[in-house]
Amino acid sequence: MIHAEGVAEVTDTTFDGEVLGAELPVLVEFTADWCGPCRQLAPVLSAIAAEQADRIKVVQLDVDHNPGITSRYGVLSMPTLMVFRSGEPVKSMVGARPKRRLLQELEDVFETA
Residues annotated as part of the active site = 35, 38
User: What DSSP string describes 6-53?
Assistant: T-EEE-TTTHIIIIIT-SS-EEEEEE-TT-HHHHHHHHHHHHHHHHTT
Dist CA 108 CA 13 (whole Å): 29
